[in-house]
């Protein structure tokens, strides 16, 4: 029988048997026990928590696969314009809780496990984090995938399946050490290996010319081929059957180009050399700030771009034959410039393989791509040395030169022979190391360049991409970042979730987040306030317990939990926080008993990873431990002040820390944080913010009002002039005093901390810690004052959650869909 006929038969039979997976507790139980016996290969009468996790996950995976198939078939039939989200990083965290909640079967799963003698929370804790990314950019991708699925958009994500995710941070003697995160060791039930979905990716070699129908065309003869194999990760939407795909590529040796090495007779070495291919997807680069022009990094970028585009174009060609329709069916989103080789790659395919004329191909390419920038610093912009690019991807270098040639010609027409401008805007940077500027390449080709907050766009327009803005003002837009309330309230704070639903009288806010505004009218209600505080107290106790197990430090849940968790960076100013803590300690030490009675007890919590090569960031971690050592062991201070460093901060640790925080700090030097998404997660959980007016905080202030948070510090527009002043800037006396304490070795390690202190002296204080110190202390004092007024604090807390809806990734994705991608929902019937 032909395949259509076969499919019809199978479907009729299956419907007759009613074989779809059922979600009642008994059916779930049966599936779990089957998976224990047949997938995990343990006895169904004898298995532990981890095996229960594996079996439950496989049962959920089965359900995800059913929905995935239905969704993909539906998309295929409807053939809507699709979005492909290209990102080198996705920080997914754990999948079990998120999946069962989005499928709407969490309680049934908990019941099923319960009757088998297991507890859902304990089982869910068995899962390791999927940490295929560094920080904000990568977690944003994960939040956006959740929104794309929930809002029924026909979208797929593409990325790399690193064997080693972000390193594990281990603290020994107060110093950070990095350990490999071999996350696939215990298997990964959330991915589906597609051995038949694989593509050859070419590298190196040279470009030859051939005659085709009397026309000259270029042919790239590669020197190396590597196979890209697809691993699909289903992403279920909440309250919908739609389940979209995150397709990650793994590198495997290719069979296509191996004949020669095997024919030389050195069989053993030929086999061993094949393994080299796998290094391409072996490890995530742990640096989230600078680009080092490393060959492996460039290989990773091209590998994932090439495989993704082959896949996308194959799918397009399945039902279309004319490439002029390509931009009507496909939108390609570049998550920062990391995937920007996609631009010359599409040109190469259209011109060299599909034999379109250059100008027609260029017209198509210019309608396909949009870029989101996640940086403000010029040194954050990717530059690839021409020698490196030319050796790895010789044809792409030619294409980039051609794109640049036409661009320069256009510029000359537009601006005349303004050579300074031409050299600033050129895709090719001349200099000691001739390089390709990936941002310039992207802006030239993308129809839209997005910033991640309003002020970030302003900085892109006036500083980073000023010349381009003058040329193409219409290309520049912003979409303020957002985070998903499914992960950051429903999954991580179930009791707050129920409380919100109770007071709003509906769970609809989980899909329609603007409804959270409805909490505003109850913010002063004494009953809500009491319940709110109870929920928050239990979360604090859970966090206190975690802190004690991790560090042995006992903290009181009566104290204010004051938290700063994020990647360690000079611009994020964890050092400012530490100097503030030293000041607080110093003050307490100098108080008499009477004064001490008025002190608001604090537990200061800091967490985050430093890039392995970032010396200053590592010193900040050590300083945190040195100060903590002193304070925590000072019985004279006792519970009035504690300082805790939470090691190995990642998504699942965040899920525990954020709901248990009272105050959270987002204190970057103004103009340095493009957006900042951590603050949004704390806000959703009713934690008050202590923040500078930077990135999206500016918009948070507008939304919840300055009265409901604690703000301080120089403003974005003031920073350049303050820096000009240099050593003429005055810092308060307290600042000099606390810096001196560190310098003089009050916390030990005098020599080691010297460079940290030197960097704070007048002229060198680039991040303006001294300038902002006074207003920082005032904001902290305000927070203390508010904390003792329980009614006021709780009201502010409720208003924070109420105003957090605007910072949902649902809003962000809705804006992208309408204004940038031109896609519409495509909802698969249940």
672-685 burial, b at 16+ Cβ within 10 Å, e below that, comes to bbbbbbbbbbbbbb
Is there a catalytic annotation at residue 609?
no
Residue 154 to residue 282: CA distance in whole angstroms: 30
From the CB of residue 563, how many other CB atoms can be counted at a distance below 10 Å? 27
For every residue of 147-215, which 3-state class applies, written as one string? HHHHCCCCEEEEEECCCECCCEEEEECCEEEEECCECCCCCCCCCEEEEEEEEEEEECCEEEEEEECCE
Q: Which is nearer to ligand T68, 134 or 661 (CB)?
A: 134
Instruction: Look at phi and psi of residue 373 and say left if phi exceeds 0, alpha if psi is from -120 to 50, else beta.
Output: beta
Strands, sheet with 224-236, edge to edge from the N-terminal-most edge strand: 192-203, 224-236, 243-253, 155-160, 82-86, 330-335, 369-372, 448-451, 476-478
374 scored as a contact of ligand T68 (CB under 6 A):
yes
Is there a catalytic annotation at residue 374?
yes
Shortest separation between residue 219's beta carbon and ligand T68, angstroms: 34
Residue range at the interface with ligand T68 (CB under 6 A); choices 137-145, 225-233, 269-277, 793-801 = 137-145
Candidates 97, 134, 539, 652: give the one binding ligand T68 (CB under 6 A).
134
Candidates 135, 189, 451, 660: give the one binding ligand T68 (CB under 6 A).
135
The interface mask with ligand T68, positions 694-713, x = CB under 6 A, is: -x------------------
In angstroms, what CA-CA distances link 615 with 3, 568, 618, 786? 61, 11, 5, 37
- DSSP assigned state of 591: -
Catalytic residue (choose from 63, 161, 374, 461): 374
Shortest separation between residue 138's beta carbon and ligand T68, angstroms: 6
> In the structure encoding, which two tokens stand for residue 387, read together?
């020698």
Residue range at the interface with ligand T68 (CB under 6 A); choices 36-44, 128-136, 143-151, 274-282 = 128-136
Shortest separation between residue 743's beta carbon and ligand T68, angstroms: 30
Residue 659 to residue 799: CA distance in whole angstroms: 15
Residue range at the interface with ligand T68 (CB under 6 A); choices 131-139, 465-473, 637-645, 701-709 = 131-139
Q: Which is nearer to ligand T68, 416 or 613 (CB)?
A: 613
Residue 429 to residue 140: CA distance in whole angstroms: 31
Q: Which is nearer to ligand T68, 691 or 739 (CB)?
A: 691
Q: Which is nearer to ligand T68, 280 or 588 (CB)?
A: 280
Is there a catalytic annotation at residue 794?
no
Cβ neighbourhood burial of 774 (10 Å; 0-12, 13-18, 19+): middle
Q: How many residues does the chain have?
A: 830
The interface with ligand T68 within residues 618-637 (CB under 6 A) comprises none
Residue range at the interface with ligand T68 (CB under 6 A); choices 116-124, 130-138, 170-178, 521-529 = 130-138
Residue range at the interface with ligand T68 (CB under 6 A); choices 78-86, 136-144, 463-471, 636-644 = 136-144
Candidates 25, 93, 130, 136: give the one binding ligand T68 (CB under 6 A).
136
Residue number of the CB atom closest to ligand T68? 136
Contact predicate 821/149, CB 8 Å: no
Catalytic residue (choose from 681, 771, 806, 811): 681
Contact predicate 496/516, CB 8 Å: no
Is there a catalytic annotation at residue 567?
yes
Residue 685 to residue 802: CA distance in whole angstroms: 10
In the beta sheet, which residues pair with residue 210? 217
Is there a catalytic annotation at residue 681?
yes
Residue 665 to residue 773: CA distance in whole angstroms: 14
Contact predicate 786/796, CB 8 Å: yes
The interface mask with ligand T68, positions 323-362, x = CB under 6 A, is: ----------------------------------------
Residue 160 to residue 278: CA distance in whole angstroms: 12
The interface with ligand T68 within residues 59-88 (CB under 6 A) comprises none
Catalytic residue (choose from 94, 338, 572, 642): 572
Shortest separation between residue 682's beta carbon and ligand T68, angstroms: 14
Residue 682 to residue 654: CA distance in whole angstroms: 10
Q: Which is nearer to ligand T68, 63 or 461 (CB)?
A: 461
Taken in order 749, 751, 753, 754, the sign of the CA dihedral is positive
Residue 79 to residue 237: CA distance in whole angstroms: 20
Is there a catalytic annotation at residue 572?
yes
Catalytic residue (choose from 567, 602, 609, 618): 567
The interface with ligand T68 within residues 644-683 (CB under 6 A) comprises 673-677
Shortest separation between residue 718's beta carbon and ligand T68, angstroms: 20
Candidates 52, 235, 452, 621: give the one binding ligand T68 (CB under 6 A).
452
> In the structure encoding, which two tokens stand for residue 361, read together?
């191909």
Shortest separation between residue 678's beta carbon and ligand T68, angstroms: 8
Catalytic residue (choose from 565, 677, 697, 820): 677
Q: Which is nearer to ligand T68, 651 or 742 (CB)?
A: 651
Candidates 52, 100, 103, 137: give the one binding ligand T68 (CB under 6 A).
137
The interface mask with ligand T68, positions 469-488, x = CB under 6 A, is: ------------x-------
The interface with ligand T68 within residues 601-620 (CB under 6 A) comprises none
Q: Which is nearer to ligand T68, 33 or 132 (CB)?
A: 132
Candidates 33, 52, 140, 464: give the one binding ligand T68 (CB under 6 A).
140
The interface mask with ligand T68, positions 740-759, x = CB under 6 A, is: --------------------
End-to-end alpha carbon distance in the chain: 30
Shortest separation between residue 277's beta carbon and ligand T68, angstroms: 24
CA Rg value for the chain: 28
Residue 774 to residue 735: CA distance in whole angstroms: 8
Q: Which is nearer to ligand T68, 137 or 620 (CB)?
A: 137
Total residues interacting with ligand T68, rule: CB under 6 A: 16
Shortest separation between residue 372's beta carbon and ligand T68, angstroms: 7
Helix residue ranges, H only, 276-378: 295-319, 326-329, 342-348, 358-368
Shortest separation between residue 71's beta carbon and ligand T68, angstroms: 27
Q: Could you list the residues that contact ligand T68 (CB under 6 A)?
A: 134-138, 140, 288, 374, 452, 481, 673-677, 695
What amino acid positions are annotated as catalytic residues? 374, 566-567, 572, 677, 681
């Amino acid at each position: 029988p032909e395949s259509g006929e076969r499919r019809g038969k199978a479907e009729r039979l299956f419907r007759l048997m009613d074989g779809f997976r059922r979600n009642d507790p008994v059916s779930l139980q049966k599936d779990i026990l089957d998976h224990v016996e047949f997938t995990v290969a343990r006895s169904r009468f004898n298995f532990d928590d981890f095996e229960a996790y594996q079996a439950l996950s496989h049962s959920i995976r089965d359900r995800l696969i059913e929905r995935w198939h239905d969704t993909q078939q539906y998309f295929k039939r409807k053939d809507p314009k699709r979005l492909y989200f290209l990102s080198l990083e996705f920080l997914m965290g754990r999948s079990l809780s998120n999946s069962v909640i989005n499928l709407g079967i969490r309680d049934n799963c908990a019941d099923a496990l319960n009757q088998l003698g297991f507890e859902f929370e304990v089982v869910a804790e068995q899962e390791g984090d999927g940490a295929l990314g560094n920080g904000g950019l990568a977690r944003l991708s994960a939040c956006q995938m959740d929104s794309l699925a929930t809002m029924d958009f026909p979208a797929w994500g593409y990325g790399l399946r690193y064997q080693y995710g972000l390193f594990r941070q281990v603290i020994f003697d107060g110093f950070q050490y990095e350990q490999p995160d071999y996350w696939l060791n215990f298997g990964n039930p959330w991915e589906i290996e597609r051995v038949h979905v694989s593509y050859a990716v070419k590298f190196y070699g040279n470009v030859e010319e051939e005659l085709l129908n009397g026309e000259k065309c270029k042919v790239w003869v590669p020197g190396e081929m590597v196979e890209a194999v697809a691993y699909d990760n289903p992403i279920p939407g909440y309250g919908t059957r739609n389940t979209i795909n995150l397709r990650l590529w793994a590198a495997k040796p290719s069979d296509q180009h191996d004949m020669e090495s095997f024919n030389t007779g050195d069989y053993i070495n030929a086999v061993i050399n094949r393994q080299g291919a796998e290094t391409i997807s072996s490890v995530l680069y742990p640096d989230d700030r600078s680009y080092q022009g490393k060959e492996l990094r460039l290989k990773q970028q091209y590998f994932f771009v090439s495989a993704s585009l082959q896949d996308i174009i194959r799918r397009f060609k399945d039902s279309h034959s004319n490439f002029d329709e390509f931009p009507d069916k496909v939108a390609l989103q570049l998550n920062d410039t990391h995937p920007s080789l996609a631009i010359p790659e599409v040109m190469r395919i259209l011109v060299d393989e599909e034999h379109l004329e250059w100008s027609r191909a260029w017209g198509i390419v210019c309608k396909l791509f949009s870029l989101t920038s996640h940086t403000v610093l010029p040194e954050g912009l990717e530059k690839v040395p021409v020698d490196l690019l030319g050796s790895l991807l010789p044809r792409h270098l030619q294409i980039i030169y051609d794109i640049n040639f036409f661009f320069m010609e256009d510029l000359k027409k537009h601006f005349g022979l303004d050579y300074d401008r031409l050299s600033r805007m050129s895709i090719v940077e001349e200099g000691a190391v001739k390089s390709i500027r990936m941002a310039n390449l992207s802006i030239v080709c993308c129809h839209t360049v997005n910033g991640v907050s309003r002020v970030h766009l302003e900085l892109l327009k006036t500083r980073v991409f000023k010349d381009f803005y003058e040329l193409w003002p219409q290309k520049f837009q912003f979409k303020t970042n957002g985070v998903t309330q499914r992960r950051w309230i429903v999954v991580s704070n179930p009791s707050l979730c129920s409380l919100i639903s109770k007071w709003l009288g509906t769970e609809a806010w989980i899909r329609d987040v603007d409804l959270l505004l409805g909490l505003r009218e109850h913010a002063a209600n004494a009953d809500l306030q009491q319940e709110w505080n109870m929920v928050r107290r239990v979360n604090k106790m859970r966090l206190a317990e975690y802190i004690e197990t991790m560090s042995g430090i006992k903290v009181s849940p009566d104290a204010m939990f004051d938290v700063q968790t994020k990647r360690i960076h000079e611009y994020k100013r964890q050092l400012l926080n530490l100097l503030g803590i030293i000041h607080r300690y110093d003050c307490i030490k100098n108080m008499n008993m009477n004064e001490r009675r008025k002190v608001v007890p604090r537990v200061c919590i800091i967490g985050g990873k430093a890039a392995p090569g970032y010396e200053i960031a590592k010193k900040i971690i050590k300083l945190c431990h040195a100060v903590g050592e002193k304070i925590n062991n000072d019985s004279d201070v006792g519970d009035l002040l504690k300082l805790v460093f939470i090691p190995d901060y990642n998504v699942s640790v965040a899920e525990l820390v954020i709901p248990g925080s009272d105050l959270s700090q987002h204190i970057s030097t103004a103009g340095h944080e493009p957006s900042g998404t951590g603050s949004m997660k704390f806000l959703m959980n009713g934690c008050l913010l202590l923040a500078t007016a930077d990135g999206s905080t500016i918009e948070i202030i507008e939304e919840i009002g300055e009265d409901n948070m604690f703000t301080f510090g120089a403003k974005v527009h003031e920073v350049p002039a303050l820096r000009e002043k240099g050593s003429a800037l005055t810092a308060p006396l307290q600042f000099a005093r606390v810096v001196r304490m560190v310098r003089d070795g009050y916390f030990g390690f005098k020599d080691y901390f010297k460079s940290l202190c030197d960097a704070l002296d007048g002229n060198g204080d680039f991040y303006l810690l001294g300038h902002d110190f006074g207003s920082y202390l005032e904001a902290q004092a305000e927070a203390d004052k508010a904390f003792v007024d329980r009614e006021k604090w709780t009201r502010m807390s409720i208003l924070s959650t109420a105003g957090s809806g605007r910072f949902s990734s649902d809003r962000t994705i809705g804006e992208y869909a309408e204004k940038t991608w031109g896609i519409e929902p495509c909802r698969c019937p249940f």
